[in-house]
Structure 1
Amino acid sequence: MIRKVNRVIQDFLRPIRLEIGKMIWDRKEKKSLELLQGDRVDMKKIKSILFLRYDGKIGDMVINTLLFREVKKVYPDIKIGVVGRGAAKDIIKFNPYVDEIYEYEKGKESSLGKRVRAEGYDVVIDFSEMLRVNQMKLINLCGGKINIGLDKVNWKLFDLSYKKSYDKHITDMYKNILRLLEIENPDLTYDIYSDEVVKNRIDGIVKNIDGDIVILNPYAASKHRSFNREKILEISKRVLKDEKNVLLFIGEPSKKVEIDGIIEKLNSNRVFYPELKGILDVAELISHAKYIVTPDTSIVHIAVAKGIPMTAVYRLDTEDNNSKVWGPNSKIAKQIFSKDVAKTGEEADINKFEVEEIGL
């Protein structure tokens, strides 16, 4: 009851906080109109671009890599900086198209903004659909000469705005951003780079595996988007029907007890839960796989980046077209859907699908 009351209070206060925050931070000291050419950036005058990806979403960062590469291909001398957070930063740790990576910490926007401002970025690009107050503050403090944002036509803080279509893949939105930077017909593939340490560590794991690697990622951030124990066992048994397949589980260390219990139940010498040290280990392991099975998570986009066939499981779309906007967008990926329909005030269960639909 206390939690519900608190949620109601926060829902009431949120728009008030946002309105006050906008009153304070929705402004620019100077409009650098000389860097614009109509409704686009005059790229002949641009020396640096900062991408704000402070939400910590790994899958989003994977898709963002197409922007860094496509900008560098056309404008190789432009400095590219990226503000990132948590494991998402590791996705670009060895990316040759990124020159500078900045750590985002909530509550430390002032120090980060001061550092970025001192480096004098010409263009700052934000991806937020709804800006929170601390994010407004950061963008303001970064001091970009040109600020670009999503659906920010009526904001003083932003000089250019781009749109997102909710009936097209998210890469269509990135094409809209690149158009503002005078880049047409971009390559929309993603990049993930590792170093030799990561590659050698994963090589050490896979060299002892005799068979075709099938990776099962059972878990998502939400329990409603994660496979339950019964479904994990069903999928595993389907994979193991083919004696050439070796099943590898991936999942956070917090899931080790549950995965170990499932492996014990399967009672097979063709099932493993390798110890991985981070998201780059996961990405490198995926590059060795024959096939991936995963719910709607960052693993979908990593598998696309690595060119690995997969079955990606989604819940039925409601109004957001999630499976279309954030789906794999790959000819070698198969999407299947849970048949569960959410009741009012509840979330749909992703486990209501038949394992025979998996494209192994």
Structure 2
Amino acid sequence: MNWKFYKPLRNKLKDNRDFFINKLLDEKRKKININYKDIKRILFMRIDGKIGDYIISSFIFKELKKNNPNIIIDIVSDTSIKKLLETNKNIDNVYVYKRKNTFQMLKMIKKLKKNKYDVLVDLTEHMKYKEFWFVKSMKAEVNIGYDKEDFNIFNIKIEKNNNKMIENYKEILKKLGITDFNSKYEVPISLEYEKEIEKYFEDKKLGSNVIAINFFGYSKGRKINKENILKILELLRKKEYKTIILDSPRDRKILEEIMSEIQDKNIFYKKTESIMEAISIIKRCDLIISPDTSIVHIAEGLDKKIIAFYDEEKVEKWGINRTKNNILIEYNEDINELDYEKELGKYL
């Protein structure tokens, strides 16, 4: 079956299933206005484990703590971003479980119910039925959600719209009565990896004017293939840029093949253990090239020059702002249909 047509159909069927089950689980909550000063404990749901989305929303935790130092901020998430969350000094407690493991989810529900949250915030688009059950089980007085206008259990709602997602995250603070805030991303830095990457840069004599490049997004349509990777690297080699290829554990076989083939003194590849290590690399580079939104938003939060590849359908909502330092190259569904020599070459 053609993946191009199968995947949207599969996702649509799953969305319809989740919507139907959620409607069955739904329950009425009274409409209520709540002020940040009155919140003792708040729970944020980030169970999708999306790094880029978390980076965009990271300013919320800082602003809540600044305005209400006594508030307890908890976050429940997938295990994949545990280290990232634990470095955020504004989050009091990080709770993680494997999102596909129902038994772990039920254990987590039992544990968190005891915290008696005043407010629960769901920051994701759509909602799977397991996550809906999670919300219902918490029995928070106030449930805040984006794209949840069809469900009564959310008594403070931000309707689905075409605004950039950060605008919806800002709206959450406004709903809680905080109108004066700084929405700059909070990109966490790990002291452990800082030392390691500092030594790596010194050992490789990388210095300044270094490019960090990532070739892989999460989905198949955002992964640059080997043929195009070699074309991109050839462009960089002609310019004699020092380039670090960012690691992708699921795609290491291709990266290792490429490194064995090119053997260029100006191109480096370092296997990394976590996103925290990648952040320390990005921090030391001058230009970041990537089709992956997590890498792009981290680079944006660190005020780096960026060349980002975006599916044209995602640009309006999830794209970074176009500035003299932020270049967006758009493609239609398949990133490998781009002419990289033409589209990327003119910016290098």
Same fold (TM over 0.5): yes
Report the equivalent of 1:284.
280
Matched with 2:176 is: 181
- Does residue 38 of structure 2 align to residue 45 of structure 1? yes
Q: CA deviation at 1:5?
A: 10
**Does the 8 Å CA contact 1:164/1:172 hold for their aligned counterparts?**
no
- In the alignment, the residues of structure 1 paired with residue 63 and residue 315 of structure 2 have an alpha-carbon distance, to the nearest angstrom, of 25
1:271 to 267, 272, 277: 267
TM-score of the superposition, structure 2-length normalised?
0.88
Aligned 1:227-266 pairs, distance under 5 A? 227-243=224-240, 245-266=241-262
CA contact (8 A) 1:218 1:227 kept: yes
Runs of 4 or more off by more than 4 Å in structure 1? Answer: 3-14
Shift of 1:14: 6.2
Structure 2 counterparts to residues 312-323 of structure 1, below 5 A? 312-317=308-313, 322-323=314-315
- The one-letter amino acid paired with 2:237 is L
- 1:353 maps to 2:342: no
CA deviations on 1:189-218 (whole Å, 9 max, x unpaired) are 211223321111111211123243211101
Q: Considering only aligned residues, what root-mean-square deviation do their CA atoms show, in Å? A: 2.7
SS in structure 1 of the partner of residue 254 of structure 2:
helix
Aligned pair in 2 of structure 1 residues 143, 324: CA closer, same or farther (>3 Å)? same
Q: What is the aligned residue count? A: 338
Unpaired runs of at least 5, structure 1:
342-346
Report how far residue 22 of structure 1 moved. Answer: 2.8
Tell whether the 8 Å contact from 1:214 to 1:239 is kept in structure 2 after alignment: no
1:326 has 2:322 as partner: no
2:147 maps to 151
**CA, structure 1 residues 297+110, in 2 after alignment: closer, same or farther (shift >3 Å)?**
same
One-letter amino acid matched to 1:306: L
Structure 1: how far apart are the matches of 2:303 and 2:12?
42
How far has the Cα of 1:240 moved from its partner? 2.4
Deviation of residue 21 (structure 1)? 4.2
1:80 paired with 2:76, answer no
Residue identity opposite 2:210 in structure 1:
I
Q: Percent identity?
A: 27
| Counterparts of residues 61-76 of structure 1 (less than 5 Å) | 61-76=54-69
Deviations along 1:56-84, whole A, 9 cap, x unmatched?
A: 11111111211111211222221111111
TM-score normalised according to structure 1 size? 0.85
Post-superposition Cα deviations, 1:70-99, rounded to whole Å, max 9, x if no partner, equal 211222221111111133232221111111
Residues 27 and 156 in structure 1, CA contact (< 8 A), matched pair in contact too:
yes
Give 1:18 shift.
Answer: 3.9
**SS in structure 1 at match of 2:327:** strand
SS at match of 1:241: helix
Amino acid of the residue matched to residue 293 of structure 2? T
User: What are structure 2's unaligned runs of at least 5 residues?
Assistant: none
Q: What are the Cα deviations for residues 148-176 of structure 1, in whole angstroms up to 9, with x where unaligned?
A: 1123344231211113431x321111111
Q: Which amino acid aligns with 1:95?
A: N
